Amino acid sequence: MTGRIPLIRLEAISKSFGDVHANRGISLEIDEGRILALLGENGAGKSTLMSILAGQLQPDAGTIFFAGDAIRLSSTEKAISLGIGMVYQHFKLVEAMTVAENVYLGHAGSFVLDWQKIHEEVMQLASQYGMQINPAARISTLSMGEKQQVEILKLLHRKSRVLIFDEPTAVLTPREAENLFATMRLMIGQGKAIVFISHKLEEVMSVADNIAILRRGEVVDRVAAADVKSTAELAERMVGREVLLQVERTPLEPRQIVLKVEGLSAASLADIDLEVRQGEILGLVGVAGNGQKPLVEMICGLVRPALGSVRLLGMDWQKFFANPSWDLALSYIPEDRQGLATCQGLDLLDNFLLTTRGGFVRGPWLRRGQAREKAERLLHDFDIRPPNLGALAWQLSGGNLQKMVLAREFYRKPRLIVAEQPTQGLDIAATEDVWKLLLEAREQAGVLLVTGDLSEALALSDRLAVMYNGRIVSTFYVDDEESVARIPQMMAGLQISA
């Protein structure tokens, strides 16, 4: 015994939601000046445990100790007052307000605020942690990386000693992720404690000091990061079996064109040309905010094309979306799984029926029993937890919600799939499963894969298209090594192919 008292000690923490046991008697220590990586498959209980530490949820059993003293975190305000803060995967910012206003939101003090002084304070705080951000900028104008910096500044301004990062790099570019890690190292140097939840094992290996692994609500392993030899070993510790995240992409003969875009232009798009054929995956890559979102919205019928043409399965845009078929047509897997892909207040059966109800309607009747039978099979096949169709969408972890969306959309047997960040937030085993599903889908469909993960694009795609500033700057086959080597420069607009 060294007599060392950890800053935070969780002892025998348990939490259930109905019949679902999210946490089962978890004990964990969080030390000052150290980064603890918290790993586990989707639904393992990581976010629930950290929401308890952040005061958002109350445990059913167990005790939390802060600097050796038992405490009760009855609210987020109580946690914040003790210096415990969480940067959530989905940011909690007021888009219409400025950076400085968000940082000071809820701040107790004088009725009259000196905004010049506040701006100087925020600028000084940002500079101290290597952030370059304008305190007067509106949140709605910021990139995802900059929004994350504002969330961190909020916690730093409150003098947080424990910072919890839940999947912090899921929406960041590689450069933004490196900036985040640099900031985290500065925090550790100042004695702060960090909990880092991530499915990206390379990142865990590079920044963590210690690793705790959860499986089905229990801690199954604790290890020093320095003692783990490879990401493959870490994945095996996490999943309980060997996971290589490698798939065999056997080239197929491309057949008929299922998507053809010609001369598509809009406020943020300029003269887009692309086509996708049955039997191939076209990977669309680029830094977020370079036109991928508006392009996908037009292809998937959310926004009417301004100039140019979009043809889907041989039909022009207007005819295709005038009376769309529920099956054998288009499946869209959106990046926004909570706001667009699902209805958070509906149960899983009703969320399954959002896009499949056409297959269960006979005259005026909806055959819910038949739908339930199909949906229950999908819960089992896709290992969705909890496997309970009565669970509400908001009760699922992000990864399990994504698996629900994928199960629903693949059930429709589409001929064209638009998959937007399909593995974002998924654990390594689930990612491997999704990769295999997308490759198998090429037998009957063409796939437009929109991803910010270059390794994913290279593993799955037959062809790649690079977007920059609203244009597709180059399209090439994935075995074109010279073009592949230039992708980072193309994405940054430094080397544009003719």
For residue 386, whether the previous peptide bond is cis, meaning omega lies within 30 degrees of 0, is: yes
3 state SS of 128: helix
Report all structural domains of the chain as residue ranges with CATH numbers, in order of start. Answer: 8-239 (3.40.50.300), 257-491 (3.40.50.300)
Question: What pLDDT does residue 498 have?
Answer: 44
Q: How confident is the model at residue 491 (pLDDT cuts 50, 70, 90)?
A: confident
Tokens of 228: 């783990």
Distance CA 378, CA 247 (A): 22
* Cα dihedral across residues 393, 396, 402, 405: positive or negative: negative
Say how far apart CA 283 and CA 311 lie, in whole Å. Answer: 19
Task: Find the length of the chain.
Answer: 498
Tell me what the pLDDT averaged over the chain comes to: 90
Cα–Cα distance, 164 to 35 (Å, whole number): 10
CA atoms within 13 A on the CB side of 198: 26
Whether 12 has a pLDDT exceeding 80, the answer reads yes
Dump the DSSP string for 268-311: TEEEEEEEEETT-EEEEE--TTSSHHHHHHHHTTSS---EEEEE
CA distance 321 to 318: 5
pTM of the model: 0.76
Assess contact for 64 and 75: CB atoms under 8 A. Answer: no
pLDDT given at position 212? 97
Query: Above pLDDT 70, what percent of the chain?
Result: 97
Surface-to-core class of residue 218, CB atoms within 10 Å of its CB (0-12 exposed, 13-18 middle, 19+ buried):
middle
pLDDT tens digits along 430-483: 888 889 889 999 999 999 999 988 889 999 999 999 999 999 999 999 999 999
pLDDT in tens, 226-239: 999 998 899 888 88
Average pLDDT over residues 195-210: 93
Looking at residue 495, its pLDDT comes to 62
Q: What does the alpha-carbon distance between residue 258 and residue 277 come to, in Å, rounded to a whole number?
A: 5
Strands 61-66 and 8-17: antiparallel
Identify the residue with better confidence: 289 or 238. 238
Give the count of alpha carbons within 13 A of 426, CB side only.
27
pLDDT of residue 1: 42
The C-alpha atoms of residue 257 and residue 262 are separated, in whole angstroms, by 13
- SS3 category, 480: coil
* Whether pLDDT at 225 is above 70: yes
Find residue 165's DSSP bridge partners.
87, 196
Tokens of 130: 């290597």
- Give the least confident one: 322-326, 393-397, 412-416, 474-478: 393-397
Alpha-carbon dihedral 441, 447, 453, 454, rounded to 10 degrees: 100
Name the residue type at position 461: S
Nearest to 54 by CA among 179, 158, 171, 139: 158
- What count of Cα atoms within 13 Å lies in the side-chain half-sphere of residue 364? 0
Residue 32 has pLDDT above 80, yes or no: yes
Backbone angles phi, psi at 24, to 5 degrees: -125, 95
CB-CB contact of 418 with 430 (8 Å): no
Evaluate if residue 19 carries a pLDDT over 80.
no
By the 8 A CB rule, do 373 and 400 touch? no
For residue 265, how many C-alpha atoms fall within 13 Å in the half-sphere facing its CB?
5
Q: Give residue 108's pLDDT.
A: 63
Residue whose C-alpha is closest to residue 143's, from 178, 91, 196: 91
